[in-house]
Amino acid sequence: MMRAPTRKAAARGLAFSASPVLAVKLPAWRSRLTLFLLFGAFVAVAVRAFWLQAISTDFLQRQGAYRYARTLELPAVRGKITDRYGEVMASSLPVKAIWAIPEDVESEPNKLRQLAQLLEMPLPDLKKKLDSDRSFVYLKRQVEEKTAEQIVALDLKGIHTRKEYKRYYPLGQTAAHVLGFTNVEDIGQEGIERAQQKSLGGVTGSRRVIKDNIGRVIEDIGYIREPQDGTDLSLSIDGKIQYIAFTELQKAVEQHRAKAGAIVVLDVKTGEVLAMANLPTYNPNTRQGLTGAQLRNRVMTDTYEPGSTLKPFTVALALERGMVTPTTVLDTPAKLSIGPASIGDSHAHAATMSVAQIIQQSSNVGTVRMAMKCEPREMWDMFTSVGFGQVPRTGFPGEVAGRLRPYKTWRPIEQATMSYGHGISVSLIQVARAYMIFARNGEMIPLSFLKLSQPPLPQRVISERTAQQMRSMMEKVVGPGGTAPLAQVRGYRVAGKTGTAHKLEGGRYVNKYVASFVGFAPISDPRIIIAVMVDEPTAGGHFGGQVAAPVFSNVAASALRAMNVPPDASVENVIMPTQMITESM
């Protein structure tokens, strides 16, 4: 057996390379294999590095960003809505949305109970939301700032807040149908809020931030897109007149125990809508449990048979054609036969009446006598020229065209009944606008819910002479012997026309009524048009002169004074007769 070299041998200067241990020879393939494996490892590392740094860069950056980078949405402030004098009608208040990452939420029973109380929700409902497998869940939207601060103070991991805005309407139910409201996403759902969504809403912004593992922002990277706040809108609405109109309509609906009511006030000079109100109504600040009846904007979306408020247009056509003058006397029998049907008046009157008396006393028979001398197309042209059968195009959501059938399909009895407002349907805004031709000396202009810097261009419909003759005759309607003495206004000369129409249900007329009045003032230089409609009055009468005319009187009196319109009559001009004539239906 060979022994290891001794120390003596090493001391004698024996070379290390001559060591017997190193003299053992290994196979060459082992060193080559080792070298190959080392080379392969280096190649694999290089390929992996190339793959990660060149091929998969975008993917890895996205994955990294997903873990620490966040995009925060920056809500735009919705534009304010003001009345024509700058009084705020709708504005946005800062609030907070409370949201959670369910998997991160700490299940501390006491704190969760406090959170549920602050959110005003049952604890089981809160736990159900937090048990979600989603990575993001809203717990509650539009939480008041004070409450949100209390929630933050709980210091619950996984619970976060987000800035947002809540719409506030100072006028409440008074202007609900004008303004409408927004949803929880601050998007307009009704009224002006919906009609002007694009302008009011603005553009939401966003910015990138880096957050730590518990959701705290540790670095602000910068804006992706800056938020663009919405544009403020100045409406044509006069806040004072809006309140007056709503209050007086409410009184009438309650007094006559009516199903509903509507009123609109127009500026004769500009076509601006000064007020619009409906009942039933709602408070846009608290909208729980709303019904369709509350949401309906009857001024714009409901149609009804206007009844006698349409007679002035038939008479104006007869005057325009030179068939009659205000003093022309016509035979007005108790009954007038049109084919197999007959038409009569609801009250007794003389066997002959002048055209002025026909308007004053609202005679169906007298109106039909004039209408049947006209061609159907002439009547149809008159009705369409004032906007019947056409969408008003105010830009307001839900506005309707009403119903006016083509003249070629009219039968004689249909032409007769349409002359006094039956067999045709209109909206209240259409009737109010149509009366422009009498208040503006024969001209029509478009309507606007936005404040205008200058009046729009007018379009002539009838002659100035005809318009003045109609004004004079409609002034007699509110005087003694007329159907609407209750529409008189102390200190001002006014004109208008009553309407009372049976309601149509299931294709048949029933004993339910729509009472209406449309008028303007002052006669010397008309400034406002007011149209009032009360649906199904059941107490204190059902005629337009009894139910709707007093609303016109009260609103006109207050509105004219609010607008500083000088009186054009003596303060003693109001003369109430002992008996009021009711209009025919």
> Do the strands 205-211 and 217-225 form a parallel or antiparallel pair, or are they unpaired?
antiparallel
Dihedral angle of Cα 135, 140, 141, 144, to the nearest 10 degrees: -130
Cβ contact 177:276 at 8 Å: yes
Burial 342-357 (b: 16+ CB within 10 A, else e): ebebeeebeeebbbbb
Closest among 196, 202, 207 to 229, alpha carbons compared: 202
Distance of alpha carbon 242 from the chain centroid = 16
- Euclidean distance between CA atoms 224 and 154, whole angstroms: 32
- Euclidean distance between CA atoms 421 and 304, whole angstroms: 10
Q: What is the total residue count of the chain?
A: 585
| Token pair for 552 | 């016109």
Which residue(s) pair with 276 in the sheet? 264
Burial 236-267 (b: 16+ CB within 10 A, else e): bbbbbbbbbbbebbbebbeebebbbbbbbbbb
| Token pair for 296 | 């309906």
Which residue(s) pair with 460 in the sheet? 443
At a CB cut-off of 8 Å and minimum separation 6, what does 35 contact?
Answer: none
- Euclidean distance between CA atoms 404 and 386, whole angstroms: 12
Question: Under the phi-then-psi rule, with left for phi > 0, alpha for psi from -120 to 50, and beta for the rest, what region is 362?
Answer: left
Active-site choice (92, 308, 354, 363):
308
Closest among 90, 47, 105 to 200, alpha carbons compared: 90
Would you call 308 a catalytic residue per the annotation?
A: yes
| Token pair for 36 | 């190959």
- Euclidean distance between CA atoms 269 and 284, whole angstroms: 31
- Euclidean distance between CA atoms 433 and 266, whole angstroms: 8
Cβ contact 202:73 at 8 Å: no
CA distances 137 to 109, 261, 562, Å, are 19, 43, 51
In Å, the largest CA–CA distance within the chain is 162
Question: Which of the residues are catalytic?
Answer: 308
